[in-house]
Amino acid sequence: MREIIFDTETTGFDPATGDRMVEIGCIEMVSRVMTGNHYHAYFNPQRPMPAAAEQVHGLSDRFLSDKPSFGEKADELLAFLGDSPLVAHNASFDFGFLNHELQHCGRPPVSMDRMVDTVALARVKNPGAKLSLDALCTRYGIDRSHRVKHGALLDAELLAQLYIELTGGRQIGLGLADNDSSNKLTDQMDVNSVQATKIFRPARPHSASAEELARHAEFVAKIKDALWLQPGSTL
């Protein structure tokens, strides 16, 4: 089954009051395995970036000034999403902004039936625990040391690993190869690779040396009435 894990960055908390989406990052998974395919885009919100929001994700007015509007990228994004289930952390927030932007540019909203909320999944598996992405990554041993600021693609990659753990788990870092280098994630996708830091040691010799064999034969020769020397012994 194909699923899309996604995250957004915005100018604030409520699209109904004029806040806009400024970044989206999407990770493709098939049968709970990251394929390497992804979609990532920045958008010009056509409004000033509040200082508090910029402190969270680091996206300034200057950086976003030459980026396309959401409407210019909407069809491209929708083509990547297809009809797959959409997984997000506190999904109603991301769905709210996604559908607001789609409606703003004349596209139909995404059905809420496609929504999978990892906060709800985590609440069932970890009742009473902290449910932030940072807290859950720590709980499940997912390395987030490279997460200095929020970023849609980076957070989607972390969320993909968390989603795997919440739905059964597997070895972190396992994924399908993708020969299309133009459609691979950046180095941040390889941060948690177990193989990147695993130390391989040569096999230790386990055969007895000539000296050890001689000492063993000398020892066996001293044994009187050995069972294996008696007639009819099967030893």
How far apart are alpha carbons 166 and 115 in whole angstroms? 16
Give all strands (DSSP E) within the chain, no chain letters: 2-10, 21-30, 33-42, 86-88, 115-117
Average pLDDT score over residue span 158-177 = 75
Identify the domain containing residue 162 by its residue range. Answer: 2-197
Q: In this structure, is residue 45 part of a structural domain?
A: yes
pLDDT per position as a tens digit, 63-88: 999 999 999 999 999 999 999 999 99
Q: In this structure, is residue 155 part of a structural domain?
A: yes
How far apart are alpha carbons 53 and 61 in whole angstroms? 11
Bridge partners of 6, per DSSP, are: 26
Residue scoring higher pLDDT (178 or 215): 215
Q: In this structure, is residue 91 part of a structural domain?
A: yes
Confidence category of residue 193, pLDDT binned at 50, 70, 90: very low
Q: H or E stretch including 158?
A: helix 152-166
Q: Return the CATH number at 146.
A: 3.30.420.10
Query: Minimum mean pLDDT among 11-20, 108-117, 167-176, 183-192: which range?
Result: 183-192
Q: In this structure, is residue 220 part of a structural domain?
A: no
Q: In this structure, is residue 216 part of a structural domain?
A: no
Q: Is 190 annotated as a binding residue?
A: no
pLDDT of residue 203: 61
Q: In this structure, is residue 215 part of a structural domain?
A: no
> Domain count of the chain?
1
Q: In this structure, is residue 203 part of a structural domain?
A: no
pTM above 0.95, yes or no: no
Please give the positions annotated as active site.
Answer: 150
Q: In this structure, is residue 228 part of a structural domain?
A: no
Q: Is 155 annotated as a binding residue?
A: yes
